[in-house]
Chains A and B, each alone.
Chain A
């Protein structure tokens, strides 16, 4: 292993230091901006829309409204009922995908160049003129309730939901973003119309496109697609502190393997130490086989198939999260090892060799992410949501390369708080009990 550091250094110098893409900012005549990477190799366009806000706009008692609304956008719009709309999109082989998460409603579309006009018109109708027909509401509501019932019996979903509840209490982040059987069952058409007006507005939309479309063509379709949006939408919630003490919460569920979701407060995306924390996490639990958590829990002890940690900066709070799953009689040991690694890296920091390996991996892998219209459009819209400059892909690797051992070890000592780490365990874990006082 001694050879690794010099090899990594040599490799770092030779890899492309930045992503070789050209991003244009396009502004429509009506004043809507979008980021674009033109690539005419394949005759289709990937288009990504994000509406900041998402399920955290749900009013108390109306949990699940934004999510159900988003699912209904393609279930009838303008002149077309649900099946007519589906037939029209199938006829031109356009794909539209609508989703809602805590901080955003996302719309992903791809369409062939030769049917672009028809696709844009269908997409516009779904965003501006969703019908919310009663029969469509009943059908999609029954699907949503089915999914909620299934999640109530899924240990991973149980643990995630309980973690959010404990961390955020009454803040929208603490409530079920899919809604509950009761809340979704009680939603009315008026609630969905209100959720639509709250969630989809000009002041919160971000747009990115990649593929077989010119700046002029994209500028022309932006006004048609989004010009009819209301100027502003519903009020967003305020920031919330993570209210979770360290410890363990067990949620009893009869299944052979326990799932543990763990974490404590994290770092906001715009924190000046975010890059150092990102490199730190790559070393601690960033997903590769080389991370300390994978080495200690899986490779050395065979306690799990997968363990990872990640920074989860949300718009109104920041978490540092992780997840592991082990058989009921082994999960206690897995948790003990994770706690130990959390403490060790906070106390002793990382080594120069680990830092070099992480930096080399992260900088080398970055340009490889831009490997198609779909991935590029998603990266571009994500950059805008994070408030990053359009030049970010040119500077990102330099910023990463500038991170020093002192930076990472200072952030490790500040950010990682083993005594604050809380594990929510769903299953029948042997030798684990809920920490008293929770």
Chain B
């Protein structure tokens, strides 16, 4: 058992008077292996209670995509002793709100309540960790809800369908290639046994992280956690996660999707990229800064080149998923201006990235970005739930508290040379997926240009 107060000091080097953002964090481990993190913020009489499982959609059995998310829905449909819907009903009857979310690497459940209601939240959350009852008729009703969720989030949004396609093209072998919500035909086929198998295998205290943030003390949290979560036995079947890994990508891949509902065509390109690893976060930090430099705001490289100097685009951006258990993606988006074809937009993107790889990092821009990242950490202190989520995402992505503590300092210490080195390493054609999304019949000339 370990107990350490962790203070993250963010010294602002850019201006005369340094500001400090402090996070008052305590951690310990219960006897059954459940990790506990307490983040104190006594400004409002509020507690955010979260349980994060180190299990997400990438931990599903092949052919059972959507099981993690389906199970997340069923966790609100009753236990051996609690009626369907009773969980949320009691949270609401205590003036609180609750919800849950599923991602590739984690599934998390949370409640926002008055701090003196924490014990009840733990009692109910511990109950559904160990005693879930999957009622067959409710599995069927919930399947309808989930298919409508998929309709709303994906089938009705050509941009979401397109993301599914480009993501599947990027990951040939790793389960990140399947959507978190699941492929439609597999959601339709998931059985109660599939859900139960996932639950039995992954939902256990030694595979969970309890995060309590807000107007609480570590002593109180420890006492309540030992009372409510302590009695649940560890599951010896929980093992280190080992998913099928991606083979080296040796050829550029292209996806062109047409959908009549597309009003605004665009082009994306993404590359396989390294993620934050325990004790090894410098490359990922350099990629965070690279994404800011390329597409992080009005003064970024792509925005300046493609929206100001040679205005071929109405919107440009860069994205990078730094916090991830396995290999992740770095990407850029260009939304061309009216009358500009996707081929022309892609050529302008190519030219600008090539120019950036030649000229290197603008030192002033890098300083601005580093200062902005420090400030965003200060602004984030205002929302204790988002601080808690940052910890939950990192801890379920294989990182340790030490890595979280070190992250700001690493970001601040990255040099322009390190950014250029990782840029040259990652932004290579053979590891890329280029995607075009457009309406049918649009851009025929552009199409012939690229097929030459």
Contacts and interface: CB of A to CB of B under 8 A. Distances in A.
Tell me whether A and B are bound partners.
Answer: yes
23 contacts: A15-B94, A43-B20, A44-B379, A83-B304, A87-B299, A93-B371, A139-B307, A139-B308, A153-B262, A153-B263, A155-B156, A255-B155, A257-B148, A290-B85, A299-B84, A299-B141, A302-B144, A325-B152, A364-B95, A364-B96, A371-B46, A372-B43, A372-B44
A102 B301 CA distance: 35
A199 B373 CA distance: 34
Given A114-B12, A360-B95, A368-B44, 6 more contacts: A15-B114, A46-B382, A256-B156, A289-B92, A327-B147, A360-B93
Nearest to B153: A305
Interface of A: 1, 4, 7-8, 11, 14-16, 20, 39, 41-44, 46, 82-83, 86-87, 90-91, 93, 95, 110, 112-115, 138-139, 142-143, 145-146, 149-150, 152-153, 155, 254-257, 259, 288-290, 295, 298-306, 325-327, 330, 357, 360-361, 363-368, 370-374
A357 B96 CA distance: 12
Nearest to B368: A90
Contacts of B2: none
A75 to B, nearest CB: 9
B244 interface: no
Interface string B137-167: 0001111111111011001100000000000
A240 B314 CA distance: 37
Closest 5 CB pairs of A and B: A364-B95, A302-B144, A93-B375, A86-B298, A257-B151
A90 B299 CA distance: 9
A11 B263 CA distance: 51
A290 B382 contact: no
Given A11-B94, A257-B152, A364-B96, A146 B314 contact: yes
Contact of A361 (B15, B95, B142, B149): B95
Contact of A83 (B43, B262, B298): B298
A150 B263 CA distance: 5
Interface string B33-54: 0000000000111100000000
Contacts of A86: 297-299
A115 B15 contact: yes
B198 interface: no
B178 interface: no
Contacts of B155: 255-257
Contacts of B28: none
Size band of the B side of the interface?
A: 35 or more
Contacts of B382: 42, 44, 46, 372-374
Contacts of A82: 298, 308
A330 B314 CA distance: 38
Given A112-B378, A150-B263, A152-B263, A8 B93 contact: yes
Contacts of B304: 83
Interface centre among B17, B148, B261, B369, by most A CB within 10 Å?
B148
B88 interface: yes
Contacts of A290: 85, 88-89, 92
A366 to B, nearest CB: 8
Contact of A374 (B112, B145, B314, B383): B383
A145 B383 contact: no
Contacts of B114: 15-16, 364, 367-368
B151 A42 contact: no
Contacts of A302: 140-145, 148
A90 B315 CA distance: 19
A304 B156 CA distance: 14
B376 interface: yes
A367 B142 CA distance: 33
